[in-house]
Amino acid sequence: MALSIEDVKKIAHLARIEISEDEAAATLTKLTGILGLIEQMQAVNTEGIVPMSHSQDLVQRLRDDVVTKTNQREAFQGIAPVLGNGSTERAVDGGLYLVPKVIE
């Protein structure tokens, strides 16, 4: 399953990482090397083996339906990113986070 430069660009888009033509070419070389390493797995017969997602056989714990967290909006919004596009303010307003308009 050889990777192409178009694949790299597609993956980068899925991962929401901007990538230039030059970066895509350099990344292709490195990813191809890593996928070559990973490819060793294909030689193993794994028919009938139950996939192991976790080392401990755990079930999700349940807890009582009671309030355990206090409101920390101010503390959490105090570390919001800087808005950008010329503004040095934090990207918050009236208790909400500011992002570019997504609905017309």
Partner 1 sequence: MINSSLKTLSQMLAKKEISSVELAQAFLNRIDAFNPEINAYIALDQDKTLAQAKAADARIAAGNAEPLTGIPIAQKDIFCANGWKTTCSSKMLENFVAPYDAHVISRFDAAGAVNLGKTNMDEFAMGSSNETSYFGGVKNPWDFTRVPGGSSGGSAAAVAARLCAAATGTDTGGSIRQPASLCGFTGLKPTYGVVSRYGMIAFASSLDQAGPMAKSAEDCALMMNVMAGFDERDSTSLNREKEDYTRDLNKPLQGLRIGLPKEYFAEGLDANVAKVVMDAVTEYKKLGAEIVDISLPNTGLSIPVYYVLAPAEASSNLSRYDGVRYGYRTPEYTDLMDMYCKTRAEGFGEEVKRRILIGTYVLSAGYYDAYYLKAQQIRRLIAQDFEEAFKHCDVIMGPAAPSTAFKAGEKVDDPVAMYLEDLYTIAVNLAGLPGMSIPAGFSNSLPVGLQIIGNYFDEARMLNVAHQYQQVTDWHTRMPEGLA
* Residues near partner 1, by CB under 8 A: 1, 3, 7-8, 11-19, 27, 30-31, 33-42, 44, 46, 49-56, 58, 60-61, 63, 72, 75-76, 78-85, 91, 97, 99-102
> In the block, which residue shows the tokens 């349940």?
62
CA-closest candidate to residue 15, choices 34, 38, 32, 31: 31
Smallest gap from Cβ 56 to partner 1, in A, equals: 5
Q: Map tokens 């090397």 to a residue.
A: 33
- Provide, rounded to whole angstroms, the least separation between the CB of residue 46 and partner 1: 4
- Look up residue 34 and give its two tokens: 């890593």
Task: Mention every residue, 6+ apart, whose C-beta is less than 8 A from residue 19.
Answer: 8, 9, 12, 27
Judged by CB, which is closer to partner 1: 52, or 67? 52
Q: How far is the CB of 63 from partner 1 (least distance, A)?
A: 7
